[in-house]
Amino acid sequence: MDFILALVLQIIYGIANLALIGLGLAIIFGMMRVINLAHGEFLMLGGYTVVVSTNLSANIWIAMLVLAPVVVGIVGVIVERLLIRFLYGRTVDTLLATWGLSLLLVGLVTAIFGPQTATTISAPIGAIEIGAYASSGYELFLILLTLAVFGAVYAVLRYTKLGLLARGTMQRADIAATLGVSTSRIYMITFGLGSAVAGLAGGVLAPITGVVPTIGATYIAKAFITVISGGTAILAGTAAAASLLGAMNGIVTFLTGPTVGEVALLGAAIILLRLMPSGITGRFFRRSL
């Protein structure tokens, strides 16, 4: 019984992890159909923000939950104004430009902090016990945090004026512009918001994964798979894809080990896309957020 509980908790953590990594990317993709190839590096910047600010003796909670999203959000807005803005409507070029940005960020961070792991941060919550098994309390915190972030994004999109304008722009940018919405500003804000969520994810995952300049590469494969399998609905798509793929990964990993688990994740996603080329929300939950 305890064993099953521990296993289920582990699988749920896997799902939450995928959802958290993918959400920032999904916000940007759902809004502007832009896949940000520098997403992994935004996560990496979030991690470095936490490392640097805790080294400057900031409280780790403030560093993870406030500083990381704010700093990366600002970076996102700057990137949007200097780079992405010129490429709207040129989807392929946007991909390429963000890929260039990703290389540039890796290079800059390597030049500043060196190629090795920066000072490791330990997780601020210790282990908890489930019967005979010990489970990480921090992972439990991450599950709750993921739920909270999803709730917050839902609330912003559903109940605020900004959310209304954003949803309008998402559905028909031209009509929204005709009605007097500054779509350019909406895009800027969304890109900033998506980056902030990425920064938050990178920040809170830093204690688990450690921080190296090339850490982005380990995140992006999972993030891309989740977002593409999910389709264009930001929250429902990410949640559905993360649940499906995370559960798959968790079960296969439990049965055979982590190497095959990741391959199963990819295989499942490719078969899924063969059946539903525009993702889960292209077929189901079409009207969801």
Binding residues vs another protein (CB under 8 A):
33, 35, 37, 83, 86-87, 91-93, 95-97, 99-108, 110-111, 214, 217-218, 220-221, 224-225, 228, 258-259, 262-263, 265-266, 269-271, 273-275, 277
Nearest distance from C-beta of residue 238 to another protein, angstroms: 15
Nearer to another protein, 91 or 182 (CB): 91
Nearest distance from C-beta of residue 268 to another protein, angstroms: 12
Nearer to another protein, 67 or 228 (CB): 228
Nearer to another protein, 57 or 116 (CB): 116
Nearest distance from C-beta of residue 262 to another protein, angstroms: 6
Nearer to another protein, 33 or 286 (CB): 33
Nearer to another protein, 39 or 71 (CB): 39
Nearer to another protein, 35 or 212 (CB): 35
- Specify whether the CB–CB gap between 147 and 224 falls below 8 A: no
Nearest distance from C-beta of residue 239 to another protein, angstroms: 20
Nearest distance from C-beta of residue 143 to another protein, angstroms: 24
Nearest distance from C-beta of residue 1 to another protein, angstroms: 32
Phi and psi dihedrals of 127, rounded to 5?
Answer: -80, 150
